[in-house]
Amino acid sequence: MYIITGLGNPGLAYRKTRHNAGFQAIDRIAEQCGIRFNKKSFSSLCGEGTLGGERVLLVKPQTYMNLSGDAVQQVLNFYKLPPENLLVLYDDIDLPIGSMRIRANGSAGTHNGMRSIISCIHSENFPRVRIGVGKDDSLLLKDYVLKRPSRDEQKILNEVFDHAADAAELIVSGKISEAQGKYNKKHEAGKPASEEKN
């Protein structure tokens, strides 16, 4: 069984903001798999089904971003699963809009939701899908991530959410290298993949 968690903040005020890219990505997975978020458990909205032939539990923590780890820890403890069976999807300001990065493990970087998860489960050893939302140095970080993207940016993000859903299926099917090869070299805005910086 795999736990797939999308990170975001609950409530209409945060719906479709840049910081809720993880929620939007996991909604796309649910849509494609016919999974409904019809349970309220583990301080989260949850939906169970199959993806890539594997049993999965989709989880949207309702703890607010900075306490995401509380919810994730509850789920892993209940199902007695190792961190390796967790997949997290979340926004990343250090990646331009239209980019996505898949990693098998690693640090939290600057993301508070990921910091919370790593702190609570005491491990960095779980795959993650980072969804680029870009940044605007003229705005405070909080103001930027808690605003909705422009219509053109949302159109780009919608395509990325489709890619994230496909990547999630590959990852739970044991094909993370294939997912990385397919999506980690997607072009930056205005640049072909050959010019992308690693």
Active site residues: 19
User: Cα dist. 53→33, 114, 167, 168, 169 in Å?
Assistant: 11, 27, 14, 12, 9
List, in sequence order, every residue forming a beta bridge with 59; answer none if it has no partner.
Answer: 5, 46
CA pair distance 162, 9, nearest whole angstrom: 21
Residue 195 CB contacts under 8 Å (≥ 6 apart), including other chains: 188
Instruction: List the helix and strand counts (H, then E) for the chain.
Output: 6, 7
41: tokens are: 């458990």
Residue 171 to residue 128: CA distance in whole angstroms = 9
Positive or negative, the Cα torsion across 75, 80, 82, 84? negative
Residue located via tokens 């294939």: 178
